[in-house]
């Protein structure tokens, strides 16, 4: 998502962008999004700064002179490693907040997740920002993203920093190496877990980008800062969601091959085994 956000900011012509990542140099691939960044790096509209969210000194150096920070970094959700997720998602976010305050950053937009309100047991329909955090999380990702979200919201208004958290669902689109490949593998198994009516939120990457940019613009106004500062955004009007079955059809994974239903009790057992093995 971050690369699409960078490209959108550059295309607007209103931003100079400083990109930070772990790699020592900017890693560019193929496609229009990469071309936009490549051109901007060449003409000075974008610069690259290697930084680790777990290293406060590196972040302070990267944030010097910056007005707005979009914090999109997170540990890999597929790895259920609490130590890793706590280090990156919680301690890393705390470092981002501290670096923002040290460098007098004006606005911080944090990419959170709808996973912060999911307990892994009870389905959620038409959930909004009023839903409380669960008492227990199904994995390290949701637990630590919730803790990170609290840090960002608590920082709002301190040292003139304004903050906002965005809670998108499962992001897919060009460059996706997680959602569509996973759906493709699931589709090839021809097994359906539960009654086949399971739902999930899928959101197109450009919609998520638009939500981040709207959040920043809102925080930049006095009235918007009063309304959205220190808040989370979980807006289905902004984030167009797709039913899993329809998404399978759109990417050509429905066919005449027979499907077999697996009872949810069996599915839950398998899930627990996967978590224990990681």
Relative to beta strand 191-193, strand 260-262 is: parallel
Separation CA 193–CA 29 (nearest Å): 36
Question: Which residues on neighbouring strands pair with residue 202, listed in sequence order?
Answer: 170
Separation CA 37–CA 46 (nearest Å): 7
- Quick one: how many helices (H) and strands (E) in the chain? 11, 10
Can you read off the two tokens belonging to residue 204? 């197109």
For 103, other C-beta atoms within 10 Å of its C-beta total 18
**Cβ contacts of 269 within 8 Å, gap of 6 or more:** none
- Report CA torsion sign: 67, 216, 174, 32: negative
CA separation (Å) from 103 to 56, 59, 66, 174, 230?
Answer: 12, 10, 8, 34, 19
**In the annotation, is 145 catalytic?**
yes
Can you say whether residue 240 is alpha, beta or left, with left for phi > 0 and alpha for psi between -120 and 50 degrees? beta
DSSP secondary structure letter of residue 221: S
Which of 145, 154, 246, 271 is flagged as catalytic? 145
Q: Which residues are catalytic?
A: 145
């Amino acid at each position: 998502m971050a690369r699409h956000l960078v490209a959108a900011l550059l295309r607007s012509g209103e931003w100079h962008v400083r990109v930070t990542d772990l790699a020592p140099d900017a890693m560019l691939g193929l496609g229009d999004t990469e071309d936009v960044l490549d051109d901007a790096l060449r003409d000075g509209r974008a610069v690259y700064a290697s930084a680790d969210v777990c290293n406060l000194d590196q972040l302070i150096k990267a944030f010097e002179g910056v007005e707005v920070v979009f914090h999109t970094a997170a540990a890999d959700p597929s790895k259920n490693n609490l130590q890793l997720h706590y280090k990156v998602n919680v301690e890393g976010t705390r470092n981002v907040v501290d670096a923002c305050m040290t460098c007098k950053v004006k606005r911080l937009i944090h990419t959170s997740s709808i996973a912060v309100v999911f307990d892994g047991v009870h389905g959620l329909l038409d959930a909004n920002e009023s839903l409380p955090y669960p008492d227990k999380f199904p994995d390290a990702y949701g637990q630590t993203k919730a803790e990170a979200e609290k840090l960002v919201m608590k920082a709002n208004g301190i040292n003139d920093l304004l903050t906002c958290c965005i809670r998108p669902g499962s992001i897919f689109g060009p460059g996706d190496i997680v959602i569509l490949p996973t759906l493709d593998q699931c589709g090839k198994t021809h097994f359906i877990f539960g009654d086949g009516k399971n739902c999930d939120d899928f959101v197109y990457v450009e919609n998520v980008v638009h939500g981040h940019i709207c959040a920043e613009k809102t925080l930049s106004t006095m009235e918007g800062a009063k309304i959205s500062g220190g808040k989370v955004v979980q807006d289905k009007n902004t984030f167009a969601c797709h039913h899993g079955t329809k998404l399978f059809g759109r990417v050509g994974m429905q066919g005449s091959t027979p499907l077999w239903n697996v009872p949810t009790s069996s599915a839950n057992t398998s899930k627990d085994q996967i978590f224990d093995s990681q």
